[in-house]
Structure 1
């Protein structure tokens, strides 16, 4: 049964940085050609002056690059340090075919993920606990019962896909550019590209490769 799981973990990753902002949204996690783990992150705050000092002092950050700046937020590319890598749960999630849908960092790290089976969820949870990473589940429900998340597409992904469709981005030849759509949505080209890729992957996974119907509907209490 494919599950949508909302949970919290407590890791030191970006913990020093988030003290200087109201919240951090992680748009993408990937490995560079040199093997570095990189995060594409939005930093939100009413006063952004202390963000880069906090990043420089954050022991989980190796380096960072400002990609875009708005009045209330900045987009950064962040490379993790060895300490950051040690506490990263993304490799374990990938091992168990777990797909992150949304990641928000405040006092804890809140994650919304698609998890293929209950066994995968338990294995991932055990991996976190074995590494002394607190793991707390908030909500679990079957993907087919997800309200407002039809086909596993998040609200941000849905907005991006519909904007691209309406503006003719998927037409042949294209009627618009990625940059034009990104400007309309007030996000960066890189953030829009990530949302479109994830959204299309979710649609394909849940239409052309539609999972089997769950054996029981609604929320599930793992205890």
Structure 2
């Protein structure tokens, strides 16, 4: 049975910017066609001007772009410096089949992930330390039965809601009966953020269903 792990990463990525925000919630890590690593995240702030000044001064950020504002949150796309990109732990997570479920940055960078085994978690931890990223375990527990309350097939509640709404609206039919632009306002997020949420939800579903099907 897979395990759910919660841990703190001591990483310099967005650390200074986070001091000017209530919290940062990562939506996606991706690369451009040229291979430049980028982050997509929501910032919950009290003073947007102070936060953007801190973001501009953050040594891990090459450039930043505000994409969307919703209430007290703003969605940002950030390109990382080379030094910061070298600290990213996503390549190590992919190598050891560690599925990142959530990353929230406040005073700490706290990660919730699914790991296939304790050995995989240990290997991922070792790779983090090799990259100069501190690792402190907070909680480790078995994944809940999919029929129990809580996450089902590793899909978070926001991902489940997005998938159900998109399915009901005909987003997955051929031809499609709706678009991301039409669906995104229901979640108060951008098209890009909704696309990332749907893809992560689909990835979790596949990982916990077809990926384990040996028939």
1:152 is aligned, of 140, 151, 154, to 154
1:88-127 residue pairs with structure 2 within 5 A?
A: 88-127=88-127
- The answer (yes or no) to whether the contact 1:59–1:83 under 8 Å persists in 2 is no
Q: CA deviation at 1:131?
A: 4.0
Structural mapping, 1:1-80, within 5 Å: 1-80=1-80
TM-superposition CA deviations, 1:175-219 (whole Å, max 9, x none): 32111111111111111111111111211222223379xxxxxxx
- Is 1:82 aligned to 2:82, yes or no? yes
- Provide runs of 4+ in structure 1 moved above 4 Å: none
Counterpart in the other structure of 1:134: 134
The 2-side partners of 1:31 and 1:211 are apart by 30
Question: Is the 1:178–1:192 contact (alpha carbons within 8 Å) kept by the matching residues of 2?
Answer: yes
CA distance, structure 2, for counterparts of residue 70 and residue 51 of structure 1: 15
Q: Does the 8 A contact of 1:17 with 1:55 survive in 2? A: yes
Q: Deviations over 1:36-95 (max 9, x none)?
A: 110001111122121221111000001111111223111111011122123222221122
TM-score (norm 1): 0.88
CA–CA distance in structure 1, aligned partners of residues 199 and 86 of structure 2: 28
Q: Secondary structure at the match of 1:39?
A: strand
Supply the distance in 2 between the matched residues of 1:182 and 1:89 (Cα, whole angstroms): 29
Distance 1:202 1:95 in 2: 16
- Unaligned stretches of 5+ residues in structure 2: none
2:87–2:132 contact (8 Å) kept in structure 1? no
By how many angstroms is 1:28 displaced? Answer: 0.4
Does structure 1 retain, via aligned residues, the 8 Å contact 2:86–2:131? Answer: no
Which digits, 9 at most, give the CA deviation of each residue in 1:82-117, with x for residues without a partner? 221232222211221222111111111111112222
Contact 1:149 1:155 in 2 (8 A): yes
TM-score normalised by L of structure 2? 0.91
- What are structure 1's unaligned runs of at least 5 residues? 213-223
Q: In 1, are the aligned partners of 2:70 and 2:189 still within 8 Å (CA)?
A: no
Shift of the alpha carbon at 1:132? 4.1
| Contact 2:28/2:39 (8 A) holds in 1 | yes
| Equivalent residues, number | 212
